[in-house]
Chain A
Amino acid sequence: MNVMTWVGAPSLEAVAITKRFDGFTALDGVSLKVRPGTVHALLGENGAGKSTLVKCVMGFHRPDEGAVLVDDHEVVIGNPRAAQRHGLGMVYQHFTLVPRMTVLENLVMARAEVPALIDWKAERKELAAFLRTMPFKVELDAPVATLAAGDKQKAEIVKQLYLQARFLILDEPTSVLTPDEADETLGLIRGMAESGRLSVLIITHKFREVMAFADDVSVLRRGRLVGSGPVGAHTPDTLARLMIGDAAVAGPAARAATPRSEIRLEVSGLRAEDDTGTPAVGGVDLQVRAGEIVGVAGVSGNGQVELVQVLAGQRPASAGTVRVHGEPYAATRAEMRRHKVFSLPEEPLKSACVPGMSVAENMAFRRFDQSPCARGGWWLDTRAVRAAAQALIERYRVKTTGPDAPIGTLSGGNVQRAVLARELSGDVAVLIAANPVFGLDFAAVADIHAQIVEARNRGAAVLLVSEDLDELLELSDRLVVMSRGAIVHETTPVSADLTVIGRCMAGH
């Protein structure tokens, strides 16, 4: 191995990459150059081909045409291990560390060759020394499950650096982070690039991050490169125009004044445990009226996920009651249908879809046992299922090769749209939403926010759990703060005091 290529940040160039999936062209002759020691941002709307491009570079996909150059030498990368050998490392949007193992264990086990007998003491010492050379601070002996999202993301990055990545690819690394966590992480990465230790390619939907942390930016639209150059030559507006062309973006939805109305969703004394059996929701009382959006703010891991899962029927409550329209509600299919309860859970592919089933089938989850999808209540009319899906795909502009494509092949943002289409296309009385715009491009964010407000205007009771305070302040009629499994503060967006909210979120 040539030592010279190891030290310092390499350049990376993708040359005329074309990738087709069964006749659908996901990438069409895309070329891109990341200069050594720079941070290069990759932008594009949902389904533009960003993930596909970096997967081609990392050897997950084999491009149909084109080449990858590292330090101006063509390299053939057949699989992620080979990418690792060339000093390329990738951090995924979803976490890949084993939650129950400590950071130390995770790092050691990730190495290409792990000795049969591990001398943990020596490994620990070596890793601690390695970490001292890094700007990132992570707790080596903490089980990954106990880390906050920002620290987990740092651990993921440290893992790549430990595996000797000199070129780092980050696929939407900040969508799970708070703005402060994102700034800190990106700042550290930028510092490493500036000191010539790393070159970085980062996929993001946030213009703010591009403007603040990137040197260069490239924009993809429908699989084609539509712009590339130094960030200084751009403004968020020019970038937005490059991303979506002249397509109109949904403006902020007008909030209809809704009269004070009856209580639709009532949660009292609700308790629930997390997967490990420790109490996560500790006596939550909440009321949501028809035509009202109640926002739930809080740092991730304070019981919001579990609360949403109980309400969506994915987790049993250990105590307390849930009432909808004044009747006890146990999230059975019949009750969901009678009370028109729908939900937009976090990580839709994992919690609301069956990846191997088709887009059409996934879109039918709410209605497959009703006419016209079912005849007589038991015979599945597959043609009706497809037709219904086709209509939704068009109405909600879901990008897919067709209703029969497995939903797992859709881009992250388009999975989200498909679920949204399924949950919001009908008559909604109660909507439970959790971080509904994670990983969506700005146009889609505006679109979905508008849809949620729209549902509220039509009289739906909306419970909106989000880690993005700005989103909550924009959409909510009422705002509560959740900390350590309990509601600790209540306010309205107009009278909200950010310092008080911040303090409550931090658990003081």
Chain B
Amino acid sequence: MTAILVPVAALAASLALFGAFVALIGVSPLDVYQLMYTGAFGSWFSWQNTLTRAAPLILTALCTALPAQLGLVVIGGEGALVLGALAAAATGLALEGAPAPVVVPAMGLAAMAAGALLIGGAGALRHGRGVNETISSLLLSYIAIAVLNHMVEGPLKDPASLNKPSTAPLADDYTIGTLPGMDVHWGLVVGVVCALAAWVLMRRTTFGFAARMVGGNPRAARMAGLPVGRLLIVTTALAGAMAGLAGMVEVAAVHGRANASLVAGYGSTGILVAFLARQNPLAVIPVAILFGGIGASGGLLQRRLGLPDASVLVLQGIIFVTLLASEGLHGRVRLPRLAKQPQEA
């Protein structure tokens, strides 16, 4: 019950704070929210825009939500996405000429492997060396972005891309098309399927059971003889694979090539989505759509109200801070019949 109440209250509080913020720069908050709604969910067109943005968000959110089951805080989704995108583009270019049914899955696998390597690396560092996974995943993420920049400006650069260094464009039949009857690409289905699979994995398999034991109490997990290290590394690798797949989707469905515009903040927004969804893989889906909507409305705010493009980022920042601040309220808010359960004395 409070599990839903607290994030919703946090969301409401941040909307109020953001309202105060826009009022300060002289814009009516009501106009802003009205417009945001229109831009995100007001028409079929804006819905499609929203869903397109939600697809990678679901995947990057899983990159944080899966390790969270083990009690880890991983924030390297951006890097895994970028590296996955690069791997997908490189694979697509290397296999140029081969039939699409072979190449597209290969691109996906390459992207997942790249992401898995990055975040699984953070998990391995944590297990083997006791390195804090939050810090290491963030730093690895910076390295991944640097690698992308290096590759698109160097070895993989398409000489034709002058002012925006990029890889060569992918062959047309290697791109992912849109869902029948709409302008949303198949990445959305990939994301939803992955979220469902992640939920099933954590709730309905022995692997997930073991992972939740480790997350809930590592001492009890050790007493049951569970391979804590292996669970840690496998889960982080899987998480990285999800974000890597997001990179592949972005390359194959949106950009058609790898370049710096892949660093679009999907990774960091994904962290926010995961936290707001309370790390529940199923809840990630609606929350990702909500944030896809916030992102989609940014353009409209800029055009109609002259708000800076970054204002939606301000909103996201406010939501994140409010959410973290409200974390401490879990179990402390007293609903009439739901009191706090203190430690058994």
A interface residues with partner B (beta carbon < 8 Å): 22, 51, 54-55, 60-62, 90, 92-94, 171-172, 312-314, 331-337, 343, 345, 349-357, 361, 364-366, 368-369, 374, 377-380, 382, 408-412, 415
Contact = CB atoms under 8 A, between A and B. Distances in A.
Given A357-B213, A361-B209, A408-B344, A382 B204 contact: yes
A355 B217 contact: yes
Nearest to A203: B345
A115 to B, nearest CB: 24
Contact of B217 (A55, A171, A334, A353): A353
The listed residue with most B CB atoms (<10 A of its CB), out of A94, A332, A336, A353, is A353
Given A171-B345, A354-B216, A368 B206 contact: yes
Contacts of A355: 216-217
Given A22-B337, A351-B219, A351-B220, 14 more contacts: A55-B345, A172-B345, A313-B223, A332-B225, A336-B224, A353-B217, A355-B217, A368-B206, A369-B210, A377-B206, A378-B206, A379-B206, A380-B205, A412-B344
8 contacts: A51-B344, A332-B227, A352-B223, A354-B213, A361-B209, A365-B220, A378-B205, A408-B341
Q: Which of B212, B334, B341 has the most CB of A within 10 A?
A: B341
Nearest to A364: B209
A108 B36 CA distance: 51
B182 interface: no
A336 B210 CA distance: 16
B219 A314 contact: yes
A335 B224 CA distance: 11
A55 B340 CA distance: 11
A351 B209 contact: no
A174 B342 CA distance: 20
A405 to B, nearest CB: 11
A83 to B, nearest CB: 13
B339 interface: yes
Contacts of B205: 378-380
Contact of B226 (A172, A333, A345, A415): A333
Contacts of A54: 345
A94 B205 CA distance: 35
A164 B223 CA distance: 42
Interface string B320-345: 00000000000000100101111111
Contacts of B204: 379-380, 382
A353 B221 CA distance: 8
B204 to A, nearest CB: 5
Nearest to A19: B339
B222 interface: yes
Contacts, number: 103
Contacts of A94: 343, 345
Q: Which 8 A-B pairs rank lowest in CB-CB distance, beginning with the nearest?
A: A354-B216, A333-B225, A92-B345, A171-B345, A369-B206, A336-B225, A354-B217, A314-B222
A409 B341 contact: yes
A378 B216 contact: no
Contact of B345 (A51, A361, A408): A51
A380 B344 contact: no
A481 to B, nearest CB: 26
Contact of A380 (B208, B216, B219, B225): B208
Contacts of A92: 343, 345
B303 to A, nearest CB: 47
B207 interface: yes
Nearest to A368: B209
A374 B206 contact: yes
A335 B225 CA distance: 8
B209 to A, nearest CB: 5
A313 B344 contact: no
A354 B211 CA distance: 12
A51 B213 CA distance: 27
A336 B226 CA distance: 10
B339 A62 contact: yes
Contacts of B210: 368-369
A366 B216 contact: no
Contacts of B208: 380
A60 B343 CA distance: 10
Contacts of A354: 212-213, 216-217, 220
Contacts of A337: 225
A250 B210 CA distance: 36
A331 B343 CA distance: 29
Interface centre among A378, A379, A412, A415 (most CB of B within 10 A): A378
Interface string B149-169: 000000000000000000000
Contact of A353 (B206, B212, B220, B227): B220
A88 to B, nearest CB: 14
